[in-house]
Amino acid sequence: MAGRFAWRQAGVGLVLPVAVIAAWQAVAQLGWVNPQVLPSPQAVLARWWAYLLPLQPYDPAAGSWLRWAVSGELLTDAAGSLYRVVLGFAVGAGLALPLGLAMGASARVYDWCNVLVQMVRPVPPIAYIPLSMLWFGLGNPPAVFLIALGAFFPVLMNTIAGVRQVDGIYIRAARNLGASGLTLFRRVILPAAVPYILSGVRIGIGTAFIVVIVAEMVAVNNGLGFRILEAREYFWSDKIIAGMITIGLIGLAIDVGMNALNNHLLRWHRGLEH
Q: How far apart are CA 93 and CA 86, in angstroms?
A: 10
Helix, strand, or coil (residue 106): coil
- Tell me the sheet residues that pair with 68: 55
Q: How far apart are CA 143 and CA 64, in angstroms?
A: 43
Instruction: Say if CB 182 and CB 120 are below 8 A apart.
Output: no
pLDDT, tens digit, for every residue of 216-225?
A: 888 788 888 8
Flag whether pLDDT at 74 surpasses 70: yes
Instruction: Say if CB 174 and CB 184 are below 8 A apart.
Output: yes
Q: How far apart are CA 145 and CA 150, in angstroms?
A: 9
- Quickly list DSSP for 167-222: -HHHHHHHHHTT--HHHHIIIIIHHHHHHHHHHHHHHHHHHHHHHHHHHHTTS-SS
Instruction: Say if CB 54 and CB 69 are below 8 A apart.
Output: yes
Q: Which amino acid is at 26?
A: A
Q: What is the 3-state secondary structure (H, E, C) of 20-71?
A: HHHHHHHHHHCCCCCCCCCCCHHHHHHHHHHHHCCEECCECCCCECCEECCC
The CATH superfamily holding the domain 73-265 is MetI-like (1.10.3720.10)
Helix, strand, or coil (residue 273): coil
Flag whether pLDDT at 270 surpasses 60: no
Which residues of the chain does CATH 1.10.3720.10 include? Answer: 73-265
pLDDT, tens digit, for every residue of 5-46?
A: 556 666 667 788 888 888 888 888 888 887 778 888 888 888
Residue 210 sits at φ, ψ, to 5 deg, of: -65, -45
Mean pLDDT across the stretch 144-163? 92
How far from the centroid of its chain's Cα atoms is residue 224's Cα?
13
pLDDT, tens digit, for every residue of 183-206?
A: 777 777 777 788 888 888 888 888
Query: Which tops the pLDDT comparison, 258 or 12?
Result: 258
DSSP H or E run through 17: helix 2-29
Flag whether pLDDT at 258 surpasses 60: yes
Burial bucket for residue 255 (CB in 10 Å: 0-12, 13-18, 19+): middle
Specify the range with the lowest mean pLDDT, choosing from 58-67, 74-83, 90-99, 115-124: 58-67
Confidence of residue 70 (pLDDT cuts 50, 70, 90): very low
Query: Which tops the pLDDT comparison, 137 or 57?
Result: 137
pTM: 0.78
Task: Tell me how far apart the terminal alpha carbons of the chain are, to the nearest angstrom.
Answer: 12
Confidence of residue 252 (pLDDT cuts 50, 70, 90): confident
Q: How far apart are CA 204 and CA 148, in angstroms?
A: 9
Query: Which tops the pLDDT comparison, 19 or 148?
Result: 148
